[in-house]
Amino acid sequence: MPPDPSWLDEASAKLAHVPLGPRTELVGRVEEVADGVAMVSGLPQARLSELLRFSGGQYGFAQVLERARIGCVLLDAPERVAVGDLVHGTGDVVRVPVGPELLGRVVDPLGRPLDGKGPVNAALFEPVERPAPEIIDRDLVTQPVQTGLLVVDTLFALGRGQRELIIGDRAIGKTTIATDTILSQKHSDMICVYVAVGQKTSAVRRVIAAIQAQGAPERCIIVAAPAAATPGLQWIAPFAGFTMAEYFRDRGQHALVVIDDLTKHAATHRELALLNRLPPGREAYPGDIFYVHARLLERAAKLSAEKGGGSLTALPIAETDAGNLSAYIPTNLISITDGQIVLDARLFHEGQKPAVDVGLSVSRVGGKTQAPALRAAAETLRLDYAQFLELEIFTRFGGMPDARVKGQLLRGAKLRAILTQPRHAPLPLAEQVALVLAAQSGLLDALTSDALAAFRHGLAARLARDATEAMRMIEATGRLEGAAETALRAALTVFARELAAP
């Protein structure tokens, strides 16, 4: 029986719709590759920051465009890219997955899972480089971000939409402050994104363990680009973290981004720039280093009601060398942000933790975002504490201070004691108000060190028993008024007298 010729007719019909003729495909070739950077030739129409695909499936992005070559930063292991490999332009930029599917996950800057929980099935991908909100689309920063740290919430209050720099020497508690802020959002409505840039893997694991043990990991995203990651991944990590957080901000929610840290990001940018033969400037950094961090941090904002009213708060971290705040990167970041929390190595080694330098730290939003109850309680706290520090230095030279000065020194010592706080133990707002009220009212002056520790340890239970209405009012409205305030002061007085009794 002869074969059925219908298949031939069907194939002919399909071929009739296929356009015939030559097709142009631009293909580049790797000329050099080393240290996470590939020099590519043969792609004259490639654009800046365009995503390039190598023949082995690896990706990179164009950072430098020369007349004959492209400086491409690799996003995958450079060992898998060889001289002579073909390179294709994609016509797109680097994109990362965004959406609720990322919550509770640990991913790399490209959204690839690192936690062994399977792929991230995100439906939406957004560019890592996005424009900052326009001035007209922004609103005033008025809502607080409770860090749970008494020294920060009372003296340098943070607001939703603010950019507050955490800066200090190596290993004196910068990451701890940021982690405690994330832990303090356990019962809030904020989405937290922690971005690790160039950190040791063990340090990243400690942060993840703290969030999983004491925070709300189901509302957190961990973006990890540790020191072992390629320079390209470390470079895009802060931008990817902001893009993931902006998804929630643009939908009327509130997000917090911690970048740990931008000093290592700046070093990575310098490394890539020098490998791409860009001209060096001060301290060998390229001339656009300020612009890189400025365009990143400008994306943090509080949006207007017309844009949904969401907010994106940024807590970038920077490392100093021997407390030198006038170095190139620290001065750049201080000028970009809305304030800085400065940590002092001397205070840290003296046992005062968090080791916040009250004189050098500042929040340019400050009391405008504080809860009214805390603002009223801490109205003169910073001035009183600053005077105490000056008097303490003065009395070291000897002399017999009068009774008034002795009283100030005693009150200041109690203030310093309550501002010292163990790590990963954030305080709720009501306890912060009660502690400051007790200290400023002089109720703690007669307490010994052991009695003061007992006061702090038992404060939550005592307030829950004797000042329930005040606790409820502070947590619900941020205010303390009328009978509730009277009841709170009475409970604090009785508790302090019990501990002060011989």
Strand spans (E) along 261-367: 311-319, 339-342, 362-363
d(CA 193, CA 220): 6
The one-letter amino acid code at 388 reads: F
Selecting among 364, 382, 423, 462, the annotated active-site residue is: 364
Q: Which helix (H) or strand (E) holds 37?
A: strand 37-41
- What does each C-alpha distance from 59 to 5, 62, 97, 211, 492 come to in angstroms? 46, 10, 16, 32, 62
d(CA 161, CA 315): 10
Could you tell me if 29 and 52 are in contact, meaning their C-beta atoms sit under 8 angstroms apart?
Answer: no
Q: Is there a catalytic annotation at residue 47?
A: no
d(CA 406, CA 413): 11
d(CA 203, CA 200): 5
Residue appearing with tokens 């330098």: 357
Q: Collapsing DSSP states into helix, strand and coil, what is residue 68?
A: coil
The one-letter amino acid code at 493 reads: T
Closest to 434 in 3D by CA, of 476, 477, 485: 485
Helices (H), 41-193: 150-155, 174-183
Q: Exposed/middle/buried for 350, CB within 10 Å: 0-12, 13-18, 19+?
A: exposed
Closest to 191 in 3D by CA, of 102, 255, 107: 255
How many alpha carbons lie under 13 Å from residue 470 in its C-beta half-sphere? Answer: 28
| Max Cα–Cα distance, the chain, nearest Å | 122
Provide the CA 135 distance to its chain's centre, in angstroms. Answer: 22
Closest to 283 in 3D by CA, of 327, 335, 326, 317: 327
- As annotated, the active-site residues are 364
